[in-house]
Structure 1
């Protein structure tokens, strides 16, 4: 086999690569005369055999693939072919590890970002009241007051979480970003407040759990993210007070003498909660694998990581050559998820049939990304898209819960299918009577960081509760403008964008009503103002 630069023929010039493309055999064979004689047909007896051999069982002496030219002697590869095939396999394992285990790295970096802010234990809660564009936080909103903390059940044992009445939706996700429980209105307390008892993978359930909503997490580390609404004037003061007076986290063993809570303001600070898009991703992931119980992932998924040298209880120390290969695998994976980020391929991602502009972060309507109720397995594209760009995994964002929770619509292209360009001006008309019991909002995001777009406006957003100065049209609709400069007379309705940068947006309904679900009320497309 004539060797070329490793993987050069495979990935050079590719803008989008999927695993299916990498695995596609799609080969062009160059059989010699002997091989041609062997492959005359399933009815013939090839030379060297005593019975007919089906053609499809035979490997030619030379095979052209996207991974290079493979050479064989009677089905046995030469040294260069064996080396290249194993390198290609390691690349595929690294690529799949990046995509499949992205949820774990996502949550790990959320934990790391909280620790940077001093929120490094269950007695500390970060308040974002509200979140602005300084923190790097995937598609966070500017509309609610977040209360966010991490806890480690290996350190605490069974943990009590006290949630006060009046908080909005809350969610607990495990270290693999799987759903554990909802709190608040979508949870079992129904917004009336209550005590939650969270058990870890090693914990025995107490004999008496009266007065608790009991849930079990398969991991030690878990994220609790709560939301509270701004008041009628769009201010956070009442929400902050509710957190400070009512939220408590403590080990069940300390229920008679709970520790004091500390609340840290993080909405206006500079810190990062987004995983790396280079080799460092694997170091972030390795921290999770080393910390969590061995069976928090099934053997199939653990096998992906161990195939690239990452295994619980062992050092992760790839060679220089392997680091280069793993780095390249991440870059190919990034190309794929970025290609699907604002132009998802799946029709089941579209909110309105036949309209590719507005799509859901939960393609297929499943928080587990199950296709056709599980008959089609897991929708891997949908799952990858979600964890690349979005945060908080809960069925409350998927289920039809009229008047409860929230619903989202994402757009990253205009009515003509072009990416949204920060140097141009656009308009989105929100028709009258948006179906929200509480309020609606728009937040603009940076496609690089998937966090809020950083501009001269600390909040790249409009909110029907906070921005009461927005001017309505005579028919009750509201025009929202996006561009580097506000159109004359539309300053109150304008969200600033940055020339030379793209952007995408999320439209949110808090307390969504029936017209949203039955689509008797629909979003208009984003139109460029020419």
Structure 2
């Protein structure tokens, strides 16, 4: 993986170096009496601006891609709820999700007024847990919903208010005022009674306009299982269509006004059609692809940093101010500047992050094996999960294609494995998980297949992590290279 990333970085760096050199070349000299080609200089300037716009818009691109997927792939509309009635696989292009629980996912649109989201009370077997975010993936009101959220499993009616709402706010709701019209949400249905029970319970969530509160229509659920559902943005020229949707439909944050201006130089301007010609499309395509390569390259060290007390494991590079109330996931530095590059790198691997990390879930990724060697998609690894791993709900081992940020498109359709699955266990109760291109004989049920040559991204999720695993007192096992 490391060599692939470095080669990708080298290519992107060469492009950027050439761009800079072409832009700052002197107008004329004795050796070069001709001024630089005006078209070349203009192209390089467009490329550089498009590259930065692509990084800046990363969180919102995910949100608008999810909305468009509901319309395009499920033939639905905003405020409909997508659900997977079967475990997710590589047909579902959602960023870094797992296969062990059904998801409720989609987009809410507040342009026509407030929306009510009813989260049902938890039962002895089932509960919901998740987050509702604005278009920039900032959790509304700085809270989560469901058992590990504000209602603590008691159920609640969450009232989502648009940014310009000036009407009355009725009693009986948990109000959540959004800074954007588009909302993105991701809610898990978890049940100790099994998959079918979790799906059945998921259908008890309700979504309807506040105007229909006295007699709401039935919530529309759309099954994404069995279809190709492309809810993650592709880094090509079409990526900038998502940026155009953002600019056309939302107001600029104070700290984003300069970048809205930068987008105008790329041809994306509020109130004007975005119609790039064929030549511009080629430049935008290159800028988007190079931006993706750059985000992959800087992941280890920018998006993910060493997890305290857990050798060989990384965690998301979040500072206290990143998750502070009122500043949640704005990525504002101490001097008031916005680090949109770090924001892009983190959101590249994350989708609708919880407002409170560590309460319901914990995510760890690994870039090196137990001996400190870079993990390689051509090799086979084993992760021995001990009996009694400190997770209140379950643990899940994952491997993703770093280029798509979704499931690996292999013969198993990118399956992941967890403590909820029927796995072969060792005599001491531990479970060996195998990741690599070759299946271990007789242990295929415990195997996650990889494809040699892909940018492999793998790690461990803990649902309901205990304090010991959060503070590093309990050492997470590491990936061992198989001979």
| TM-score, reference length from structure 2 | 0.85
CA distance 1:459–1:274, shift in 2 (3 Å): closer
**Cα distance in 1, alignment partners of residues 416 and 11 from structure 2:** 32
CA distance 1:186–1:119, shift in 2 (3 Å): farther
CA distance 1:372–1:524, shift in 2 (3 Å): farther
Q: Are 2:393 and 2:463, in contact at CA under 8 Å, matched by a contact in 1? A: yes
Q: String of CA shifts for 1:29-61, please: whole Å, max 9, x gaps.
A: xxxxxxxxxxxxxxxxxxxxxxxxxxxxxxxxx
1:96 to 52, 57, 73: 52
Deviation at 1:513, TM superposition (A): 0.6
**Cα distance in 2, alignment partners of residues 276 and 489 from structure 1:** 38
Indicate the residue corresponding to 1:471 in structure 2: 425
Indicate the residue corresponding to 2:467 in structure 1: 514
CA distance 1:491–1:309, shift in 2 (3 Å): closer
Deviation at 1:514, TM superposition (A): 0.6
**Cα distance in 1, alignment partners of residues 442 and 191 from structure 2:** 27
CA distance 1:144–1:326, shift in 2 (3 Å): same
Please provide the CA RMSD for this pair: 3.2
The alignment partner of 1:382 has SS state of helix
Deviation at 1:279, TM superposition (A): 1.3
Deviation at 1:442, TM superposition (A): 0.9
Matched, 1:442 2:397: yes
Indicate the residue corresponding to 1:189 in structure 2: 151
The alignment partner of 2:313 has SS state of strand
The alignment partner of 1:90 has SS state of helix
CA distance 1:525–1:421, shift in 2 (3 Å): same
1:411 to 366, 380, 390: 366
Indicate the residue corresponding to 2:135 in structure 1: 175
**Cα distance in 2, alignment partners of residues 413 and 16 from structure 1:** 24
2:406 to 451, 469, 476: 451
Indicate the residue corresponding to 1:291 in structure 2: 249
Indicate the residue corresponding to 2:435 in structure 1: 482
Q: String of CA shifts for 1:324-365, please: whole Å, max 9, x gaps.
A: 332332232122112124xx124972214694x422234446
CA distance 1:473–1:386, shift in 2 (3 Å): farther
Aligned residues: 462
Indicate the residue corresponding to 2:345 in structure 1: 385
**Cα distance in 1, alignment partners of residues 19 and 377 from structure 2:** 38
**Cα distance in 1, alignment partners of residues 85 and 338 from structure 2:** 34
**Cα distance in 1, alignment partners of residues 304 and 89 from structure 2:** 32
Q: String of CA shifts for 1:269-288, please: whole Å, max 9, x gaps.
A: 22211212121111222123
Deviation at 1:519, TM superposition (A): 0.4
Deviation at 1:86, TM superposition (A): 5.2
**Cα distance in 2, alignment partners of residues 251 and 14 from structure 1:** 51
Alignment of 1:191-270 (within 5 A): 191-207=153-169, 209-232=170-193, 235-244=194-203, 246-270=204-228
Deviation at 1:84, TM superposition (A): 6.0
Indicate the residue corresponding to 2:3 in structure 1: none
Deviation at 1:482, TM superposition (A): 1.6
Q: String of CA shifts for 1:448-497, please: whole Å, max 9, x gaps.
A: 21111233335621111233x331353x4332112333323433432222
**Cα distance in 2, alignment partners of residues 521 and 419 from structure 1:** 24
Q: Are 2:158 and 2:176, in contact at CA under 8 Å, matched by a contact in 1? A: yes
Deviation at 1:237, TM superposition (A): 1.9
**Cα distance in 2, alignment partners of residues 406 and 277 from structure 1:** 28
Alignment of 1:348-367 (within 5 A): 349-352=305-308, 355=311, 357-364=312-319, 366-367=322-323
Alignment of 1:143-154 (within 5 A): 143-154=100-111
**Cα distance in 1, alignment partners of residues 306 and 22 from structure 2:** 33
**Cα distance in 2, alignment partners of residues 278 and 429 from structure 1:** 39
Q: String of CA shifts for 1:62-93, please: whole Å, max 9, x gaps.
A: xxx575531479xxx99538776655443322
**Cα distance in 1, alignment partners of residues 441 and 302 from structure 2:** 39
Indicate the residue corresponding to 2:5 in structure 1: none
Residue segments in structure 1 that go unaligned for 5+ positions in a row = 1-11, 26-64
Deviation at 1:253, TM superposition (A): 1.3
**Cα distance in 2, alignment partners of residues 18 and 513 from structure 1:** 46
CA distance 1:480–1:291, shift in 2 (3 Å): same
**Cα distance in 1, alignment partners of residues 164 and 355 from structure 2:** 26
CA distance 1:316–1:383, shift in 2 (3 Å): same
Residue segments in structure 2 that go unaligned for 5+ positions in a row = 1-7
**Cα distance in 2, alignment partners of residues 87 and 24 from structure 1:** 9
Q: Are 1:348 and 1:364, in contact at CA under 8 Å, matched by a contact in 2? A: no
Q: Are 1:159 and 1:249, in contact at CA under 8 Å, matched by a contact in 2? A: yes
CA distance 1:441–1:347, shift in 2 (3 Å): closer
**Cα distance in 2, alignment partners of residues 107 and 18 from structure 1:** 31
CA distance 1:123–1:138, shift in 2 (3 Å): closer
Q: Are 2:235 and 2:289, in contact at CA under 8 Å, matched by a contact in 1? A: yes
**Cα distance in 1, alignment partners of residues 37 and 411 from structure 2:** 56
